[in-house]
């Protein structure tokens, strides 16, 4: 008891939790907190950043209430102040070891030279992510931290990640930066464990200014590695060092520990969408021009309409056209392009025999209407549009007379069907949402 009186309640709290959490956890989260002021009614804690404050309250609120004064409202009587600049006192946190001096050539930064911000074509689907990436690259550790980029395969996540790397390398040469795939990170751990050089590796990662991690989904089901990654992550973020992570899924859908998911959701979670038609055309133009091939706009649109959900495939198509055009030495026209690229075209998948009923069912599901309404006469806009889409698809996908098809639509005439087909053909050119809905129905039918 006597001892307690001589020690501040904060110190008592620290001593208590030190026995209950891991060394790394303590070093990363608790050691960096400084007791700025203490009175019997209140304490003031200086934290390096808001994350440390959140961590403390999320994990130790109950324990803290046993040691520290409470306000009449029932809240803990703690005031937090965020330290103005990151603390350089390495000795405070045992894991922030002295800067790496020995050979680190093994950890050389490898960036794809083409993956720069300049080469990244912007559109509505990726504008937000790109500006977040530029923000992070311009002021590492000071805007969004971590920046978590997620989206489907081949949409440019790695490209933007390396873009950040290039930008920082070019603008602040002293910044210590590492870009790594999650697989490589895991391999590094394995190698270093084998060579008994794991401490050196830890030291390297924990003294970085910027860590760029690609494809974090590969950390799923790798428990031991997850913990090591999480410790590295925490050590860096608590020194306000920048972390950028890419993934094929948002954090909440990753099979990782709650601790890891929560860390990744701290900063900005940004989604990389599928580029719209115009952006795909711009990408085709950009990629082909950089390879010295001029693809006419009409052809670029034609390709973009047929390859729509993976930029890597679009790039593959451009490469193939470049190779052929060198051999052919003729102007590209739609027929040639279709012949060269036909097996890459997504809507050219072998077609099954399609029935009007399957089209109606698919349209009803995507447009959220009933099949009976599609066959009926209602002029409510949503229903009428859905009905016209069904007619359009029936004409596109069913190899039968228009008259016969029209009958399956509750006895419509063949001119009604033709009118619907023309209208939707025009509208899908202009209306991206409608185009996507039509694609979705088509895919449902064809899959
Ligand atoms: P992900 O990591 O999302 O699977 P990548 O970054 O590897 O995708 O991108 C696949 C290819 O597509 C790369 O060659 C990249 O340069 C290109 N790419 C993707 N999006 C764009 C874009 N918006 N502008 C230019 N190229 C892009
Ligand atoms: Mg990638």
Q: Is 120 in the pocket of ligand 1 (CB under 6 A)?
A: yes
Pocket probe for ligand 1: among 129, 149, 152, 156, the residue whose CB has the most ligand atoms within 8 Å is: 156
pLDDT for res 288: 94
Task: Give the Å distance between the CA of 156 and the centre of ligand 2.
Answer: 7
Q: Tell me, what CATH number does 414's domain have? A: 1.10.1750.10
Nearest to 367 by CA among 393, 347, 346, 348: 393
**What is the per-residue pLDDT across 238-265, written as a single tens digit (0 to 9) for each?**
999 999 999 999 999 999 999 999 999 9
102 located within any domain: no
Q: Pick the ligand that lies closest to the CA of residue 119.
A: 1
If asked whether residues 213 and 157 sit together in one domain, one would say: yes
- Determine whether 38 is exposed, middle or buried from the number of CB atoms within 10 Å of its CB (0-12, 13-18, 19+): middle
If asked whether residues 331 and 372 sit together in one domain, one would say: no
Nearest to 231 by CA among 254, 198, 255, 253: 198
Domain of 335 in residue numbering reads as 277-347
Residue whose Cα lies nearest atom 5 of ligand 1: it is 156
If asked whether residues 258 and 140 sit together in one domain, one would say: yes
If asked whether residues 319 and 223 sit together in one domain, one would say: no
If asked whether residues 262 and 143 sit together in one domain, one would say: yes
If asked whether residues 158 and 245 sit together in one domain, one would say: yes
Give the residue-averaged pLDDT of 226-238. 92
SS3 94: coil
If asked whether residues 309 and 394 sit together in one domain, one would say: no
Q: Pick the ligand that lies closest to the CA of residue 181.
A: 2
Q: How many domains does the chain have?
A: 4
114 located within any domain: no
If asked whether residues 342 and 412 sit together in one domain, one would say: no
Q: Is 150 in the pocket of ligand 1 (CB under 6 A)?
A: no
Residue 121 Cα: closest atom of ligand 1: 24
Q: With bands split at pLDDT 50, 70 and 90, how would you rate the model's confidence at 222? A: confident
pLDDT for res 115: 96
Select from 272, 291, 306 the last residue of a domain. 272
**What is the per-residue pLDDT across 388-415, written as a single tens digit (0 to 9) for each?**
999 999 988 887 777 888 888 888 888 8
Is the pLDDT score of 95 beyond 60?
no
Q: Is 315 in the pocket of ligand 1 (CB under 6 A)?
A: yes
- Determine whether 297 is exposed, middle or buried from the number of CB atoms within 10 Å of its CB (0-12, 13-18, 19+): exposed
If asked whether residues 153 and 206 sit together in one domain, one would say: yes
Positive/negative CA dihedral, 185, 191, 192, 193: positive
**What is the per-residue pLDDT across 318-371, written as a single tens digit (0 to 9) for each?**
998 888 887 777 778 888 898 889 888 875 444 457 889 999 999 999 999 999
Q: Tell me, what CATH number does 73's domain have? A: 3.30.300.180
If asked whether residues 247 and 322 sit together in one domain, one would say: no
Residue with tokens 């690259």: 137
Q: Is 271 in the pocket of ligand 1 (CB under 6 A)?
A: no
Q: Is 312 in the pocket of ligand 1 (CB under 6 A)?
A: yes
If asked whether residues 163 and 257 sit together in one domain, one would say: yes
H/E element, 38: strand 34-38
Task: Give the Å distance between the CA of 249 and the centre of ligand 2.
Answer: 12
Predicted TM-score of the model (pTM): 0.64
If asked whether residues 390 and 414 sit together in one domain, one would say: yes
Select from 85, 114, 146 the last residue of a domain. 85
Residue 130 Cα: closest atom of ligand 1: 23
Could you tell me which residues are beta bridge partners of residue 255?
none
204's CB contacts (< 8 A; 6+ apart) are 100, 104, 107, 178
pLDDT for res 5: 55
SS3 256: coil
């Amino acid at each position: 008891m006597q001892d307690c009186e001589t020690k501040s309640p904060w110190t008592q709290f620290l001593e208590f939790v030190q026995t209950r959490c891991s060394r790394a956890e303590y070093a990363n989260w608790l050691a960096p907190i400084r007791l700025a002021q203490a009175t019997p009614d209140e304490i003031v804690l200086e934290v390096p950043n808001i994350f440390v404050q959140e961590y403390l309250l999320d994990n130790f609120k109950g324990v803290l209430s046993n040691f520290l004064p409470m306000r009449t409202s029932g809240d803990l009587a703690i005031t937090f102040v965020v330290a103005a600049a990151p603390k350089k006192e390495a000795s405070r946190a045992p894991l922030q070891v002295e800067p790496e001096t020995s050979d680190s050539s093994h950890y050389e930064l490898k960036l794809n030279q083409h993956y720069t911000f300049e080469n990244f074509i912007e559109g509505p689907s990726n504008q937000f992510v790109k500006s977040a990436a530029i923000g992070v690259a311009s002021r590492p550790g000071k805007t969004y931290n971590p920046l978590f980029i997620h989206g489907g395969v081949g949409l440019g996540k790695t490209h933007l990640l390396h873009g950040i790397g290039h930008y920082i390398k070019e603008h602040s040469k002293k910044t210590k930066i590492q870009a790594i795939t999650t697989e490589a990170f895991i391999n590094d751990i394995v190698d270093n464990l084998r060579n008994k050089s794991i401490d050196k590796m830890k030291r390297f990662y924990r003294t970085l200014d910027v860590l760029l991690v690609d494809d974090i989904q590969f950390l799923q089901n790798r428990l031991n590695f997850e913990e090591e990654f999480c410790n590295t992550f925490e050590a860096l973020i608590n020194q306000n060092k920048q972390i950028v992570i890419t993934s094929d899924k948002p954090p909440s859908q990753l099979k990782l520990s709650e601790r890891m998911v929560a860390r990744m959701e701290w900063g900005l979670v940004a989604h990389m969408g599928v580029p719209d038609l115009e952006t795909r055309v711009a990408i085709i133009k950009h990629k082909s021009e950089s390879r010295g091939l001029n693809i006419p706009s009409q052809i670029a649109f034609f390709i973009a309409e047929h390859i729509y959900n993976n930029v890597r495939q679009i790039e593959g198509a451009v490469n193939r056209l470049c190779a052929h055009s060198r051999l052919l030495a003729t102007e590209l026209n739609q027929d040639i392009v279709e012949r060269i690229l036909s097996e890459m075209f997504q809507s050219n998948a072998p077609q099954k025999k399609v029935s009007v009923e399957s089209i109606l069912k698919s349209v009803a599901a995507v447009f959220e209407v009933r099949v009976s309404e599609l066959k009926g006469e209602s002029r409510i806009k949503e229903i009428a549009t859905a009905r016209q889409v069904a007619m359009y698809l029936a004409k596109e996908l069913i190899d039968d007379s228009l008259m016969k098809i029209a009958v399956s639509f509750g006895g419509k005439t063949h001119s009604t069907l033709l009118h619907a087909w023309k209208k939707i053909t025009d509208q899908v050119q202009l209306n991206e949402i409608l185009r996507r809905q039509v694609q979705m129905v088509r895919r449902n039918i064809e899959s």
